[in-house]
Amino acid sequence: MSLENKVAIITGASRGIGFAVAKRFVMDGAKVVLADVDDEAGQAAADDLKSLGDIMYIHCNVAERLDVRNMVAETLNAYGDIDILVNNAGIVVGADFLELEEDDFDRVLSINLKGAFLCSQAVARHMVEKVEGGGEPGTIINMSSVNSVIAIPNQIPYCVSKGGMSQLTKTTALALAKYGIRVNAIGPGSIMTEMLASVNSDPAARNRILSRTPMLRIGEPSEIAGVAAFLASSDASYVTGQTIMADGGRMPLNYTVEVPADQ
């Protein structure tokens, strides 16, 4: 799948899935903007990928409208266009429902969901203007989760934000369809990011994950990047409003599977 000369913005791109998507896109020929709030990690990520192609880092707190506007303006100033947006920025706050702080609830929703809205709206305005001027439509990819459907009781704001992300994907897909702009989401299952590394080092915790993963392994960030590359490409030209669950079979599962002792 070729993304030759396409311009992509990826939020939350300094590590994990966002970094893997950035790497895949630049390897597929795209010009990539890594956006993040962690300037040190973001610039280091961009430096790591510079040998592969055209890539730059831009600071952006996706929950702040002015930051989002500046990110879009800087991207257009550098590359003159935006073809792809990946809304990947997100955080998790774990707490019992009765102890969950309002500020933590608001913070998760502001980054995970409001941030995706702000970025999508700002980028879509450029994409619509381009289409009305005779240019090609772009595409927006939202990073959702299996937790948009299934719930974890001590991750309430995260689950709520991802449920909202699925509806944001559908509604914006319908709103932008007349312009040919596609909006889709990816719902990762358990993926080997820094967030999951500590769990993976605990055999009991790892087995709990594998027991509800029919493929009996934890996914890699590069596997989510592959789905993103498909959705960003012309191969997905008739796909919009969908959430693709890349979860090792977890969503269809209505039982737990036995994990061999040597797994």
Q: Is 158 among the residues known to form the active site?
A: yes
Residue 178 in contact with residue 240, Cβ under 8 Å?
A: no
Short-list 56, 6, 7, 53, CA closest to 36: 56
Q: In what order do the strands lie in the sheet with 182-188?
A: 55-59, 31-36, 7-11, 84-87, 139-143, 182-188, 243-246
Count CA within 13 A, CB hemisphere, residue 211. Answer: 10
Angle at 248 between CA 250 and CA 85, to 5 degrees: 100
Catalytic residue (choose from 79, 158, 179, 238)? 158
Q: How many whole angstroms separate alpha carbon 61 and alpha carbon 221?
A: 23
Give catalytic residue positions: 158
